[in-house]
Amino acid sequence: MGSPVVSIIGAGVAGLACATELADRGVAVELLERSARLGESACSWMAGGMLAPWCERATTDEIVARLGEPSIDWWRRHYPGTVSQGSLVLTPPRDAADLTRFAARTERYEWIDGDRIAALEPDLAGRFRRALFFPDEAHLEPRKALASLAAGLEARGVPIRFGIGGKPPEAGPGLVVDCRGLAARDELPDLRGVRGEMLVVRTRDVSLSRPVRLLHPRIPLYIVPRGDGVFMIGATMIESEERRAVSVRSAMELLNAAYTLHPAFGEAEIVELGADLRPTFPDNLPCIRRTGRVLHANGLFRHGFLLAPWLARQVADAVLLETRDADIPERRHA
Amino acid sequence: MSSFYGVELKSRLLLGTSRYPSPAVLERAVKASGAEVVTVSLRRESGTGRAGQAFWSLIQSMGVRVLPNTAGCHSVKEAVTTAHMARELFDTPWIKLEVIGEADTLQPDVFGLVEAARILSEEGFEVFPYTTEDLVVAERLVEAGCRVLMPWGAPIGSARGLNNVYGLRSMRAHFPEIPLVVDAGLGVPSHAAAAMELGYDAVLLNTAVAEAGDPVEMARAFALGVEAGRAAYLARPMEPRDMAVPSTPVIGKAALGD
């Protein structure tokens, strides 16, 4: 490719998806990342990786489901490791009403009984009587998915320049897409951080084929299988911008959820405990804003993987509109 | 008009701020509810207490009075520390005092509650205690310095309405001068109306609005429920009776058919 037309700042899920979508459409891009390695300062590194528009629908704006639905296909096309096994929502029998509440707020699910739960997830046999099954949902391993996008870009000659970031004016002379997440606060004052905490454990004693959400009146949590006996457990949502390590209470809640789902998690090894801040606008929805030659694409909140493809399509549309008259005909029809 | 530590409120609906789909929806719900007071929880995990500032400044920009709460505190010490943090952050002597005694029902630990209320009242806080309908506990809270009492309708977030109408009615009769607020457990506007019909001064709710399919519309509905209940109370409802009382006399009505 020739000299880049568009510089993208930030190689988290937003920046990587934007770069991929633009490259797909034949636009020459470069990607700048302030940290030295992929994922080092990206909150998507800590994500759950659920592509669960209808589960999310139960607790967020319905627009999240609408914008997120096409993402499942986008990821299947761009990351072969995407797992399309649906997802499961459970409660302990005592909190059964929460399952009904959850169901009333969303769609695209089936009520299933204990036998069906056992058929889907043999290790949960006999442990739960009712569940909601969302057959159309999917999940992925965020770190592998990010690495796969990065590798795909490199294979197409898109440079990812690590150790270079900073504010948009320092970037190249062409159009700039600012995907810095919370670091873009200097230019997006209404951006706030919403803290999330996660836990990774390893055990050979339990196996799951799909993400399981455990509803709880106060501490709703999910467990996502990452393969090879590794499970990610998330995620708290705290209106806090503190970057300190996971608190004992949060760790207890996360561990307790795993233990409730299956006591064998009690013997699992703790691999990682982490916390980060999700960049969020006041309506908890992503958006794209324009200042001069900079497009700010931000605010993915807890829907990084679910909504990054939508964000990327919007950015690509805007960039193509912008560069329609520019001197890059070979890219336009590539 | 009821006075909450000298503050007179036009709206008798107090709204919690957690569990909304987004701060933007919360803001629209607060507007639709007409609430002049919102409660804000300070999770103790915030540590330094400064960390939630972005969210809190969003709330402060709504132009309503903030009633910080000690939600999630399980001990006197925790609650007192959280109250100190709240006073510093929100620059208000008001504190909604919750000392949780039981994790599954979130039932208040009334012993700890009374103790924390005493400590905080002595320090100059204006305490809004989340309590049960127990009259003896209520007496102790008043002795401790509380000038508002907030008995539960039902466990927090349960949407069950008024579990013990008799107890709530006794409490109203027992404390004619203390502003009483039904706090927690309401699910639909008729529950709020029922509390107001008992002569309660206000209701405080959160989940019923935040987790409704359309929180903004539900906020408006609750405002109507509260207003209806209050108006009904002031209009002095008729007493129920066992037999029918025809609104049109039947004896002596014109004989038809000849």
- Whole-number pLDDT of residue A331: 36
Res B156 pLDDT > 50: yes
Q: What is the dihedral of CA B54, B56, B61, B67, to 10 degrees?
A: 180
Of B45, B48, B58, the CB nearest to A249: B45
Which one of B10, B77, B96, B253 is the catalytic residue?
Answer: B96
Cα–Cα distance between B44 and B23 in angstroms, integer? Answer: 20
| B55 interfacial to chain A (CB closer than 8 Å) | yes
Mean of pLDDT over chain A: 89
Residue range B128-147: mean pLDDT, rounded: 96
What residue type is A28 in one-letter code?
A: A
Cα–Cα distance between A143 and B235 in angstroms, integer? Answer: 65
Phi-psi region of B138 (alpha: psi -120 to 50; beta: other; left: phi over 0): alpha
Q: Chain A closest CA to B51's CA: distance in Å?
A: 5
Per residue in A178-222, pLDDT tens? 999 999 998 999 999 998 899 999 999 999 999 999 987 777 789
Of B21, B53, B157, the CB nearest to A60: B21
Question: Cβ contact (<8 Å) for A240 and B27?
Answer: no
Per residue in B206-251, pLDDT tens? 999 998 989 999 999 999 999 999 999 999 998 888 887 777 666 6
Cα–Cα distance between B51 and B46 in angstroms, integer? Answer: 6
Residues of B in contact with A282 (CB under 8 A): 22-24, 27, 58
| B31 interfacial to chain A (CB closer than 8 Å) | no
> Tokens representing B193?
């109306």
Q: Given the structure tokens 């996660």, which residue do they identify?
A: A198
Long-range contacts formed by B174-179: CB under 8 A, 24+ apart: B174/B135, B174/B138, B175/B138, B175/B142, B175/B149, B178/B142, B178/B146, B178/B147, B178/B148, B178/B149, B179/B2, B179/B3, B179/B4, B179/B147, B179/B148, B179/B149
- Whole-number pLDDT of residue A327: 47
- Whole-number pLDDT of residue A24: 95
**Cβ pair A20, A312 in contact under 8 A:** yes
Res A329 pLDDT > 50: no
Chain A residue closest to B211 (CA)?
Answer: A59
Query: Which secondary structure element, helix H or strand E, spans residue A202, and what is its range?
Result: strand A192-202
Of A104, A240, A284, the CB nearest to B45: A240
Chain A residue closest to B40 (CA)?
Answer: A239
Residue range B249-257: mean pLDDT, rounded: 62
**pTM over the 0.80 mark:** yes
How sure is the predictor about B2, in pLDDT bands with cuts at 50, 70 and 90?
Answer: confident
Q: Chain A closest CA to B46's CA: distance in Å?
A: 6
For chain A, the first-to-last Cα distance in angstroms comes to 11
DSSP state of A162: E
Long-range contacts formed by B75-79: CB under 8 A, 24+ apart: B75/B99, B75/B112, B76/B112, B76/B115, B76/B116, B76/B119, B78/B44, B79/B112, B79/B116
Question: Cβ contact (<8 Å) for A241 and B43?
Answer: no
* Pairing between β-strand A287-291 and β-strand A294-298 as defined by DSSP bridges: antiparallel
- Whole-number pLDDT of residue B147: 96
Residues of A in contact with B51 (CB under 8 A): 195, 240-242
- Whole-number pLDDT of residue A235: 73
Contacts of A265 (CB under 8 A, 6+ apart): A201, A203, A206, A231, A255, A258, A259
- Whole-number pLDDT of residue A216: 78
Neighbours of A133 (CB within 10 A): 17
The complex's ipTM?
0.73
The number of residues making up chain B comes to 258
Phi-psi region of A127 (alpha: psi -120 to 50; beta: other; left: phi over 0): alpha
- Whole-number pLDDT of residue A334: 32
The CA distances from residue A260 to A97, A257, B61, in Å, are 18, 5, 40
**Cβ pair A309, A75 in contact under 8 A:** yes
Residues of A in contact with B58 (CB under 8 A): 192, 282
Residue range B14-27: mean pLDDT, rounded: 91
Residue range A268-287: mean pLDDT, rounded: 93
- Whole-number pLDDT of residue B47: 47
The CA distances from residue A309 to A15, A21, A319, in Å, are 10, 8, 15
B96 is catalytic: yes
Cα–Cα distance between B80 and B73 in angstroms, integer? Answer: 9
| B27 interfacial to chain A (CB closer than 8 Å) | yes
Per residue in B74-99, pLDDT tens? 899 989 999 998 898 888 999 999 99
Q: Name which residue leads in pLDDT, A5 or A313.
A: A313
How sure is the predictor about A71, in pLDDT bands with cuts at 50, 70 and 90?
Answer: very high
Residue range A297-315: mean pLDDT, rounded: 96
